[in-house]
Amino acid sequence: MSMNKIAILGAGWLGWPLAKRLVQKGYVVNASTTSTGKLPALTADGINAFYIHILPRESEVGSYDYFLDADLLIINIPPGRRDPEVQKNFPKKIELFISLALKAGVKQCIFVSSTGVYSDAQGRVAEDIIPIPSTNSGKALLTVENYLQSIPSLTTTIIRPGGLVGGDRLAGRFLAGKKNIPNGNAPVNMIHREDLINIFIKIIDQQKFGKTFHCVADHSPTRRDFYIHQAKKYGFELPEFLPDGGNGPFKVVSNDFVKKTLDYEFLFGDPMGF
């Protein structure tokens, strides 16, 4: 199947560098932003930049047709953890947008979800383990996953990254200076942005569509070890964890499937080296 034009809904911390890589590889890339200030810089990177809200205003619907003129749609927008109605609002937004995509003839979709669809008490989880989300955002993401996979005319690939680090997103800042942090013995399931972008490229180049991929580094150090190390490395105030460390079981996400299916070797296999 020919794959030449790609639309990325959400050209932010992940979507923008992903779009640049795809342009460098010869793909035509449409990418959206809700910030007009980003449009010139996106264009300068060879990206067809669009100012788009996920819920279109009537005057904007025409630009959606141009944006959605693509062989593949990548949906890369967060559900909004602070939204008390996220379980209702996020799926509604995606459904409305997908209705436009289907009318435009989009047949392939990659949805950026999260390992947050699993609760922290599910133990070791691979892609064949049924998610039991415990947070509202995790429940919203799982609802969208199921909705997209239920559309017969749309082949949906699900990407579930762990905690995202890379570029200006320094993990040491997340818990810097915090006190009495629980669950210091819990493992962290992280991925570096460079690895995540590489996985996108592998999926697209190899056309390994219609699957679900867990995207996390090879190793899962404890929260205590990881965040203290990152704070020391980048000069942040050290976090302080409760001495008991918390009680398991804790969630550990397997990356065996993504490595085997895509023949992928992680650049940053150990989060302690982020």
Question: Six-digit token pair at 25?
Answer: 């590889």
Buried b (16+ CB within 10 A) or exposed e, 196-226: bbbbbbbbbeeeebebbbbbbbebbbbbbbb
Residue type, 64: Y
pTM above 0.85, yes or no: yes
- Residue 175 to residues 126, 211, 241, Cα–Cα distance (Å): 27, 34, 10
Domain ranges of the chain: 78-169+189-221+252-273
Architecture of domain 78-169+189-221+252-273: 3-Layer(aba) Sandwich (3.40)
What pLDDT score does 55 carry? 66
What pLDDT score does 246 carry? 87
CA dist 200 and 78 (Å) reads: 17
Residues 6+ apart with CB under 8 A from 62: none
φ, ψ dihedrals at 7, nearest 5°? -110, 130
DSSP 34: S
**9 DSSP β-pair partners:** 75
What pLDDT score does 80 carry? 85
What pLDDT score does 2 carry? 66
Contact 139, 194 (CB under 8 A): no
Burial class (CB in 10 A: 0-12, 13-18, 19+), 23: middle
* pLDDT mean by block of 10 residues, the chain; 274 residues: 88 98 97 95 97 67 83 95 91 94 96 97 96 97 98 98 96 96 96 98 97 98 97 96 89 98 98 94
